[in-house]
């Protein structure tokens, strides 16, 4: 391979940051961008909280979508690395796209609020990272506030998420008495000086054996850290880079993104431990990122919400080689040679048209409606397909029908189009002959988007009746028995998806367990097979 291209690919690091809303994902991302010189001032990535209130009208939806488009991926350079941070939209923006984004990352940074521990959204996103076996790094944030005992936090991560942890550093106190962290590798204390909590702080390094240490961090903190170090050295996991890279061991860092404490050491360690672009499996075997030929797959499609332009942006992750704008490429699923139109990269809030990009990078291209999620793009002559993207379980369900039966055709056309873009999933009830469609979404906002788009793009008004189901599971082995004969609670519903797979809708986790207990043959899965 051309050494210049190899070098470019080797220096790429593509990761997603996952967290529950408010744990500090935006603040941490911003600090990374500041280090990389991509932005000059904090507050550039997203508006203040006050701008992010509940979504009620279209303008708001568009603004929300705007946020998720512009901050989809941010690229910057830091100490020789070229870093791509993938945003995983949260808050009202949480949708299946949030999960799909993780399919494009080579590793994940999990931000946890030190006072709250593992929260619901982190748990959901974490499951997807585990399914992919990508490395997961933990940043325990907000140590400048009162927080939970660090040993308890690690135990919670290990028990709740089922991953082993390796603390790279260890906090000394928290909140008002937060004095810094102990760096286990350097065997030194990096001390923190509070300054009202809203400014960045200077970090100073003090050797563990320094005679003034107990004066610097306080007598009580000193005694605690000495005990903690003994416990850590005796009881904690050994550091094992292979286990980290296989997603079995999560290196843990403590810090405070807001005051910038611990962010740079985290970034430096993380960049050393996290892999360069990973190889990916296709129907013709594993494709090495260092292969000369360009290849990519589509992981997200962003509809243009402006009615005047029914175009879309397809986001693709480059998996091998170098992309050059003037070259023809091959869209495998469409069996067509083409040039990718207006390839662009997003940097903080700016978009720029690019002429080249490398394995590890994400590009957005103009899509006149030809791409679907999971599609493979290669060089002409190569016809392999990357294994697609699974379907993720929706959590909100509604029965949807059009108010004017004469418009049923437009209704179905519109709804199918939106399904293909991956914004919603639809299900039908077999054996009933009902004409209604059950729509499932990962985030509630998608219902509003559906309603708005059907009205504005297809002239269809809909009736929407919320259903009380909260869980859906794919039946993995529906061919092995007659689905009608399953023994299920009266509030469990059998449905079929767009590809005629059988699924079960449940109102509670208890009902899932009941179904599994009463039907020995039944195998359920939380992810739908990639199509």
Interface contacts to ligand G4P, rule CB under 6 A: 19, 21-27, 48-49, 90, 141-142, 144-145, 197, 256-258
For the CB of residue 25, give the shortest distance to ligand G4P in the complex, in Å. Answer: 3
139 or 447: whose CB is closer to ligand G4P?
139
- How far apart CA 183 and CA 318 sit, in angstroms, is 36
Residue 416 Cα distances to 170, 413, 422, 424, angstroms: 52, 5, 10, 9
Cβ at position 35, least distance to ligand G4P in Å: 16
What tokens does 26 get?
């935006």
CB of 177 to ligand G4P, least distance (A): 14
Encoded tokens for 386:
């990357």
Q: How many CB atoms lie within 10 A of CB 434?
A: 12
Shortest CB 198 distance to ligand G4P, Å: 8
Q: Which is nearer to ligand G4P, 119 or 476 (CB)?
A: 119
Place of tokens 């050059």: 324
Shortest reach from residue 277's CB to ligand G4P, in Å = 26
User: Six-digit token pair at 121?
Assistant: 């959204």
Strands 391-392 and 12-19: unpaired
Dist CA 168 CA 153 (whole Å): 14
Backbone angles phi, psi at 461, to 5 degrees: -95, 140
CB 421 within 8 A of CB 432: no
Cβ proximity to ligand G4P: between 45 and 314 the closer is 45
Please tell me the chain's helix, strand, coil percentages from 3-state DSSP, rounded to the nearest 5. Answer: 30, 30, 40
Q: How far is the CB of 274 from ligand G4P (least distance, A)?
A: 20
Residue 185 is given by DSSP the state T
Q: Which is nearer to ligand G4P, 112 or 437 (CB)?
A: 112
CB of 244 to ligand G4P, least distance (A): 23
Select 67 or 363, whichever has its Cβ closest to ligand G4P. 67
Scored b (16 or more CB within 10 A) or e, 495-507 reads: bbbeeebbbbbbb
Of 23 and 441, nearer to ligand G4P (C-beta) is 23
Q: How far apart are the first and last CA of the chain?
A: 33
Min separation Cβ 26 and ligand G4P, Å? 3
**Cβ closer to ligand G4P: 69 or 243?**
69
Separation of alpha carbons 215 and 222, rounded Å: 9
Q: How far is the CB of 119 from ligand G4P (least distance, A)?
A: 10
Instruction: State both tokens at 507.
Output: 């109102």
Give the nearest distance from C-beta 520 to ligand G4P in angstroms.
Answer: 43
Give dist(CA 160, CA 130) in Å, integer.
Answer: 13
Q: In terms of CB distance, is 83 or 495 closer to ligand G4P? A: 83
- Two structure tokens written together for 342: 């207006």
Distance CA 405, CA 242 (A): 59
Nearest approach in angstroms of CB 48 to ligand G4P is: 5
> How far is Cα 240 from Cα 521, in angstroms, rounded to an integer?
39
Q: Residue 69: phi, psi to the nearest 5?
A: -70, -55
- The count of C-alpha atoms lying within 13 angstroms of the C-alpha of 495, restricted to the half-sphere facing its C-beta, is 25
Query: Smaller CB distance to ligand G4P: residue 49 or 409?
Result: 49
Q: Which is nearer to ligand G4P, 192 or 371 (CB)?
A: 192
C-beta of 139 vs 330, nearer to ligand G4P: 139
């Amino acid at each position: 391979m051309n050494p210049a291209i190899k070098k470019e690919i080797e220096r790429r690091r593509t990761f997603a940051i996952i967290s529950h809303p408010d744990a500090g994902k935006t603040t941490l991302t911003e600090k990374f961008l500041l280090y990389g010189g991509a932005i000059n001032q904090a507050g550039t990535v997203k508006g203040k909280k006050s701008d992010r209130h509940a979504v009620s009208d279209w303008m708001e939806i568009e603004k929300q979508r705007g946020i998720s488009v512009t901050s989809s991926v941010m690229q910057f350079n830091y100490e020789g690395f070229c870093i791509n941070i993938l945003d995983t939209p949260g808050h009202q923006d949480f949708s299946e796209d949030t999960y799909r984004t993780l399919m494009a990352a080579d590793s994940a940074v999990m931000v946890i609020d030190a006072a709250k521990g593992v929260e619901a959204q982190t748990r959901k996103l974490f499951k997807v990272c585990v399914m992919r076996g990508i490395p997961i790094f933990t940043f325990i944030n907000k140590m400048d506030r009162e927080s939970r005992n660090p040993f308890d936090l690690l135990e919670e991560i290990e028990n709740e998420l089922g991953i082993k942890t390796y603390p790279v550093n260890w906090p000394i106190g928290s909140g008002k008495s937060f004095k810094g962290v102990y760096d286990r590798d350097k065997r030194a204390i990096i001390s923190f000086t509070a300054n009202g909590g809203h400014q960045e702080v200077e970090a100073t390094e003090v050797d563990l054996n320094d005679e003034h240490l107990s004066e610097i961090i306080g007598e009580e903190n000193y005694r605690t850290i000495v005990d903690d170090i003994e416990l850590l050295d005796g009881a904690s996991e050994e550091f094992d880079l292979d286990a980290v890279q296989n997603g079995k061991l999560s290196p843990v860092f403590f810090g405070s993104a807001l005051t910038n404490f611990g962010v740079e050491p985290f970034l430096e360690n993380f960049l050393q431990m996290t892999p360069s672009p990973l190889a990916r499996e296709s129907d013709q075997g594993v494709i090495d990122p260092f292969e000369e030929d360009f290849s990519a797959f589509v992981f997200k499609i962003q509809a243009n919400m402006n009615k005047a332009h029914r175009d879309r942006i397809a986001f693709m992750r480059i998996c091998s080689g170098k992309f050059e704008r003037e070259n023809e490429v091959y869209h495998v699923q469409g069996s067509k040679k083409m040039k990718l139109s207006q390839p662009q990269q997003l940097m903080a809030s700016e978009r720029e048209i690019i002429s080249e990009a490398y394995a590890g990078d994400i590009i957005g291209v103009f899509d006149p409606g030809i791409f679907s999620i999971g599609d493979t793009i290669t060089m002409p002559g190569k016809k392999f397909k990357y294994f697609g993207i699974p379907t993720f379980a929706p959590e909100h369900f509604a029965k949807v029908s059009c108010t004017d039966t004469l418009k049923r055709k437009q209704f179905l056309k519109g709804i199918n189009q939106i399904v293909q873009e991956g914004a919603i999933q639809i299900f039908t009830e077999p054996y009933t002959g009902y004409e209604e469609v059950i729509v499932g979404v990962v985030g509630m906002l998608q219902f509003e988007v559906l309603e708005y788009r059907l009205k504005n793009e297809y002239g269809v008004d809909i009736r929407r009746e919320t259903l009380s189901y909260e869980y859906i599971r794919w039946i993995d082995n529906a061919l092995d028995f007659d689905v009608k004969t399953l023994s299920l609670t009266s509030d469990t519903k059998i449905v079929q998806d767009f590809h005629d797979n059988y699924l079960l809708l449940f109102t509670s986790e208890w009902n899932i367990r009941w179904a599994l207990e009463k039907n020995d043959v039944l195998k359920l899965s939380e992810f739908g097979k990639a199509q």
